[in-house]
Amino acid sequence: MRESGPARVAIVDYGMGNLFSIKHACAFAGLQAVITAAGEEIVAADAVILPGMGAFGDAMQILRDLDLVEVLRDVAQSGKPLLGVCLGMQLLMAESFEFGRHQGLGIIEGDVVSLQEGMDGARRLKVPQVGWNRVWRTGQAAGEGAASPAWRDTLLDSLSDGEFMYFVHSFYPRPADPGVTLSLTRYGPVEFTSSLARGNVFACQFHPERSGPQGLRIYRNLAARITAAAVGRAPGPTS
Amino acid sequence: MTVRIIPRLDIKGPNLVKGIHLEGLRVLGRPEWFARYYYEQGADELVYMDVVASLYQRNSLLDIIARTSREIFIPLTVGGGLRTIEDIRTVLRAGADKVSLNTAAIRRPELIREASRRFGSSTILVSIEAIRKPDGRYEAYTDNGRERTGVDAMEWAVRAAELGAGELMVTSIDREGTGKGFDLELTRTIAGSVSIPVIACGGAGTVDHVTRVVKEGKADAVCLASILHYRAVRLHDFAAEIRGEGNVEYLKARRGFSKIQDTTLPDVKKYLTEQGIACRMPTGEVCHA
């Protein structure tokens, strides 16, 4: 690893989603981000962001065509921070039921299902969900306003329970292990995992780079995490 | 779910402008200043509409988008004169999160399908600018209300949603800039006939108009312009910063506009919350119905 200079983040460019807002959010947090589809550049980065918008099946096909499926699985194994955003979160899962049945990256056990199917007649809401919604540590009953101790040392560190984040999605991930769920969000009758963490892998259904100052805290926390991970991997007397 | 309050900034060359019925444009200031101010005030998104893009080149708009997206971390929608997939790609690469299509989509509806497939539905808004006809029907207009199309606005809304639009932005040209309130029937009818979100646009003169377009008009989001801009103008001396040509008499006089009770984003959201409409409150605060 390099001794100095800003930490380098690879934003995986598979042609979907606004990568530029993620790049600008990284710059705000002091991270040097490169938008790339090159496997060697992704592997060499200090952290990797998997963004995305659009259809799950199309996205997986593009990742396969670009030979990035194994690259991303390797990143997940490497201990380097891996952040999935929106469709990028869903792609981490084992499979999706968006327009058929599709294999995902399988980094997190679980599947991706439709918001529409969860809507019952009386409380039917617009799908996609577009706009600001709250992220809760353990559902609506959790204490509002105070910084949640359960999020300490996660990428949600210093955020308040019930914070607003910006969502755009028609599907949501259902991790098999509820223990990976970092936040829950309620949309009509559906309560879903709006962010998750397992080791070095973090993912959110919302767009932190479009969620104002609170969202930017997630990028700042990512920057701090990258530094910590790099120190942890460095060979030396403490490792 | 919260109702989104979205400042809409009409842009001509380097300047923020505002008209009435989308005409008679007054220069109000620099769009980047307003964008940053509204971001700090808790705007949920921003819309940039290049009101003369069909007529002039647009490099200054791309510069404005690029500067804005580096310092404003909420969704930015850009519209005005986008005709092709390449036009859309250009504004997205400059830093826009979504684009709004009107004229080009009415001329060639397949553009909606192609664009939503290429960039994702959620990136593609279709803007419907409508005028109410004597028989009570609504006709869609293009080129910022200058050209009639003969297309029924309600039918067009349903078609645009079927073609893959992620959201609809519905503007009443009759009400736009007047402060007389939103066209509730227009918004309610379209919101009831599509499953995608509908953004109401055009006519806010009081905070109560905003409440009514949410409660009675069934809007999922509301665009505000004059009602916010006229207050912002009184807070900052823009006249010295204005470049390019345009009608700056309003700005020099810094007078209000009597039909519009200008206000601020926090006050709009506070009022909506009191009326039982959930909003995201400005930075650091949480508030719910």
Minimal Cα distance from A190: which residue of B?
Answer: B1
In this model, does residue A4 exceed pLDDT 60?
Answer: no
The answer to whether ipTM exceeds 0.95 is no
What CATH number matches the domain at B4-274, 3.40.50.720, 3.20.20.70, 1.10.3720.10, 3.40.50.1110? 3.20.20.70
- Length in residues, chain A: 239
Minimal Cα distance from A87: which residue of B?
Answer: B120
Note the Cα B6 to chain centre separation in Å.
Answer: 7
Contacts of A131 in chain B (CB under 8 A): 1-4, 44, 197, 220-221
User: A179 CB contacts (<8 Å, ≥6 apart)?
Assistant: none
The pLDDT assigned to A126 comes to 85
The answer to whether the CB atoms of B283 and A212 lie below 8 A apart is: yes
pLDDT in tens, B54-93: 545 667 889 999 999 999 999 999 999 899 999 999 999 8
Question: What confidence tier does A97 reach under pLDDT thresholds 50, 70, 90?
Answer: confident
- Please give the radius of gyration of chain B, using alpha carbons only, rounded to the nearest integer: 17
pLDDT in tens, A127-142: 889 999 999 986 444 4
The pLDDT assigned to B287 comes to 39
Written as one letter, the residue type at A227 is T
Q: Helices in chain B by DSSP H: which ranges?
A: 31-40, 59-71, 85-94, 103-107, 110-119, 153-162, 184-193, 207-215, 226-235, 249-253, 265-274
Domains of chain A: 8-233 (3.40.50.880)
Cα A231 to Cα A228: distance, rounded to the nearest angstrom:
5
The pLDDT assigned to A200 comes to 95
Cα B252 to Cα B52: distance, rounded to the nearest angstrom:
23
In this model, does residue B247 exceed pLDDT 80?
Answer: no
Minimal Cα distance from B43: which residue of A?
Answer: A212
Asked if B129 is an active-site residue, the reply is yes
**Per-residue tokens: B83:** 């005709």
Distance spanning both ends of chain B, measured CA to CA: 11
Distance spanning both ends of chain A, measured CA to CA: 15
Judging by DSSP bridges, how do beta strands B198-201 and B138-142 pair with one another? unpaired
User: How far are the Cα atoms of A208, B35, B267 from residue A80, in angstroms, in the given order?
Assistant: 20, 36, 44
Nearest to B195 among A127, A133, A166 (CB): A127
Nearest to A20 among B74, B93, B119 (CB): B93
Sign of torsion over alpha carbons B196, A114, A130, B74: negative
Smallest CA–CA separation between B86 and chain A, in Å? 14
Written as one letter, the residue type at B149 is T
The domain segmentation of chain B, as residue ranges, is: 4-274
Nearest to B74 among A16, A162, A210 (CB): A210
Q: Which residue has the higher pLDDT, A127 or B185?
A: B185
The pLDDT assigned to A239 comes to 37
The answer to whether the CB atoms of A215 and B96 lie below 8 A apart is: no
Which residue of the set B32, B44, B45, B129 is catalytic? B129
pLDDT in tens, A11-32: 999 876 678 899 999 999 999 9
Nearest to A24 among B70, B92, B122 (CB): B70
The torsion angles phi and psi of A33, rounded to 5 degrees, stand at: -110, 140
Q: Which residue has the higher pLDDT, B230 or B200?
A: B200
The pLDDT assigned to B285 comes to 45
Smallest CA–CA separation between A185 and chain B, in Å? 10
DSSP element (H, E) containing B26: strand B23-29
Asked if B263 reaches chain A (Cβ–Cβ under 8 Å), the answer is no
**What mean pLDDT value characterizes chain B?**
88
Smallest CA–CA separation between B150 and chain A, in Å? 29
> Do residues A147 and A194 lie in contact, with contact meaning Cβ atoms separated by under 8 Å?
no
Q: Helices in A29-137 by DSSP H: which ranges?
A: 39-44, 56-65, 69-78, 87-91, 115-118
Number of A/B CB contacts below 8 angstroms equals 98
**What mean pLDDT value characterizes chain A?**
88
Smallest CA–CA separation between A127 and chain B, in Å? 6
- Please give the radius of gyration of chain A, using alpha carbons only, rounded to the nearest integer: 17
The pLDDT assigned to A99 comes to 80
Residues in a beta bridge with A103? A95
Asked if B282 reaches chain A (Cβ–Cβ under 8 Å), the answer is no
Question: For the residues B223-244, what does the mean pLDDT come to?
Answer: 79
Nearest to A168 among B69, B93, B122 (CB): B122
Minimal Cα distance from B95: which residue of A?
Answer: A20
The pLDDT assigned to A234 comes to 62
> Do residues A11 and A81 lie in contact, with contact meaning Cβ atoms separated by under 8 Å?
no
Smallest CA–CA separation between B45 and chain A, in Å? 9
The pLDDT assigned to B204 comes to 93
Selected residue of B3, B117, B273, B280 to mutate for chain A interface (largest A Cβ count, 10 A)? B280
The torsion angles phi and psi of B20, rounded to 5 degrees, stand at: -130, 130
Q: Which residue has the higher pLDDT, A9 or A230?
A: A9
Minimal Cα distance from A208: which residue of B?
Answer: B73
pLDDT in tens, B147-160: 999 999 999 999 99
Cα B36 to Cα A208: distance, rounded to the nearest angstrom:
18
**Per-residue tokens: A174:** 């259902």
